[in-house]
Amino acid sequence: MIDRDLIKRALEEDLSGGEDITSVATVSDSEKIAADFVTRKAGVIAGIDMARAVLEEVGITDITLFVQDGAQVKAGELLMTARGDTRAILLAERTALNFLGHLSGIATLTNSWVRAVAGTKTKIRDTRKTTPGMRQLEKYAVRMGGGTNHRMGLYDSALIKDNHIAAAGSVSAAFSKVLAKYPDADIEIEVDNLDQLREILLFKPDLILLDNMSVELCAQAVAIVSGAAKLEASGGLTIENAKTYALTGVDYLAIGALTHSAPNFDIGLDMRKE
């Protein structure tokens, strides 16, 4: 996945109409170099096409990719080699690594959650807690890590949360209003307790969000619903208790941390003469 407009903005953020004063002062305009993108740790790669596109944006076209997004890699693995104008590669270096490290960090973190619930039916799902302007890329990185996407925005499905319920007066009133206004929309509704769960089941929702419920309450909710709706657990989840929640039989774990708290994946750019 490539967002060329975002790449242009990121490069302009570095230059702001000027030039790379350090490289112009220290590197001749005729110098050529080979640059290897190399992992410093093990994980899952996402954003390799974004990194390549950054190099292309500054005029580097001799690029060899050794992995594709979604690849599991070891520390010290060569991801990509670029050859060409040294100044241009230095201009692209940080922006390319920023995209590649950030997106690979999301993919790697997501994959750790996916492995934590392996052997269950539960899927790991993201949220809208994304970096402004980077949602499409970050949700793409979640998929590369083996996770699944929740809605992309407010426009493609309804998620009735506690503030909507408070405004409408009850879970049933809120659900009825959304269903009446958007009868063809996918509708998910949040419940805080089992009484609300029983109340909303009468309306046959497709998906119910169990908000901040304990493992025991989630297990009870699964028994009450008995397959009549999909269930998503949210709040209080950690990678240590993920398997315990998954074993209750919920269909999804909603993990905002996949995108808002993923650590950067360490990748270096090693330059060499040929």
pLDDT at 55: 98
| pLDDT per residue as tens digits for the range 33-57 | 999 999 999 999 999 999 999 999 9
Q: Give helix 194-201 / helix 171-181 axis angle, nearest 10°.
A: 40
Same domain, 119 and 237: yes
Half-sphere CA count of 52, side-chain side, radius 13 A: 18
Same domain, 134 and 102: no
> Contact, 192 vs 143, CB < 8 A?
no
| pLDDT per residue as tens digits for the range 118-170 | 999 999 999 999 999 999 999 999 999 999 999 999 999 999 999 999 999 99
Half-sphere CA count of 110, side-chain side, radius 13 A: 33
Q: Count the domains in the chain.
A: 2
Three-class SS state of 180: helix
Q: Which of 10, 4, 104 is nearest to 52 (CA)?
A: 4
Q: Which helix (H) or strand (E) holds 135?
A: helix 135-144
Per the annotation, the verdict on 190 as an active-site residue is yes
Same domain, 72 and 198: no
Residues of the chain with pLDDT under 50: none
Distance between CA atoms of residues 98 and 109, nearest Å: 16
Query: One of 49, 190, 232, 251 is an active-site residue; which one?
Result: 190
Query: One of 128, 135, 151, 161 is an active-site residue; which one?
Result: 161
Q: Domain of 163?
A: 115-260
Q: How many CB atoms lie within 10 A of CB 154?
A: 9
Q: Give the phi and the psi of residue 81 in degrees, each rounded to 5.
A: -125, 130
What secondary structure does DSSP assign to 30-99, as a single string?
Answer: T-EEEEEEEESS-EE---HHHHHHHHHHTT--EEEE---TT-EE-TT-EEEEEEEEHHHHHHHHHHHHHH
Per the annotation, the verdict on 94 as an active-site residue is yes
Same domain, 21 and 137: no
CATH of the domain at 125: 3.20.20.70
Same domain, 145 and 204: yes
pLDDT at 159: 95
> Contact, 108 vs 258, CB < 8 A?
no
Query: One of 94, 135, 177, 230 is an active-site residue; which one?
Result: 94
Same domain, 177 and 248: yes
Same domain, 27 and 93: yes
Same domain, 85 and 216: no
CATH of the domain at 37: 3.90.1170.20
pLDDT at 272: 94
Same domain, 41 and 84: yes
Same domain, 119 and 218: yes
Half-sphere CA count of 130, side-chain side, radius 13 A: 22
Predicted TM-score of the model (pTM): 0.96
pLDDT at 274: 82
Per the annotation, the verdict on 121 as an active-site residue is no
Per the annotation, the verdict on 32 as an active-site residue is no
pLDDT at 74: 98
Same domain, 143 and 102: no
Q: Provide the b/e sequence for 163-179 (b: ≥16 CB within 10 Å).
A: ebbeebeebbebbeebb
Distance between CA atoms of residues 48 and 92, nearest Å: 14
Same domain, 137 and 252: yes
170 Cα distance to chain centroid: 32
Query: One of 129, 151, 177, 230 is an active-site residue; which one?
Result: 129
Q: Which tokens is 175 given?
A: 């659900």
